[in-house]
Amino acid sequence: MQGNTGIVMATMLEAQPLIRALGLKLLIKRPFRVYAGGTHTLVISGIGKAHAAMAAAELVVHHGARVILNAGAAGALTRELPLGGIYQVTRAVEPDRPKLIGRGLRTLLPDTLEGVAGATLATQDRPMVTEEERRAVSLLAQLADMEGAAVVQAARLYGARCHLFKFVSDTPDHSSDFNIVANIRRLRGAFADFIADKVLPEL
Residue 45 has pLDDT above 60, yes or no: yes
pLDDT bracket for residue 2 (50, 70, 90) = very low
User: 22's torsion region: left (phi>0), alpha (psi -120 to 50) or beta?
Assistant: alpha
Residue 7 has pLDDT above 60, yes or no: yes
| pTM, rounded to two decimals | 0.94
Residue 93 has pLDDT above 60, yes or no: yes
pLDDT tens profile 162-189: 999 999 999 999 878 899 999 999 999 9
Min mean pLDDT across 27-36, 129-138, 149-158 is at 129-138
pLDDT bracket for residue 1 (50, 70, 90) = very low
pLDDT bracket for residue 98 (50, 70, 90) = low
Give me the CATH number covering residue 20.
Answer: 3.40.50.1580
Q: What is the pLDDT of residue 102?
A: 61
Residues 6+ apart with CB under 8 A from 203: 5, 67, 69, 161, 163
Residue 91 φ/ψ, nearest 5 degrees? -155, 135
Residues 6+ apart with CB under 8 A from 142: 76, 77, 78, 80, 81, 87, 119, 120, 121
Dihedral sign, Cα of residue 48, residue 14, residue 93, residue 203: positive
Residue range 29-50: mean pLDDT, rounded: 97
Mean pLDDT estimate for the chain: 94
Residue 103 has pLDDT above 80, yes or no: no
- Between helix 177-194 and helix 12-22 the angle, nearest 10°, is 20
Q: What is the pLDDT of residue 79?
A: 93
Neighbours of 178 (CB within 10 A): 8
What distance in Å separates the CA atoms of residue 90 and residue 32, rounded to the nearest whole number? 27
pLDDT tens profile 56-72: 999 999 999 999 999 99
Domain that holds residue 198: 5-202
| Burial (CB count <10 Å: 0-12, 13-18, 19+), residue 100 | exposed
Residue 4 has pLDDT above 80, yes or no: yes
How many structural domains is the chain composed of? 1
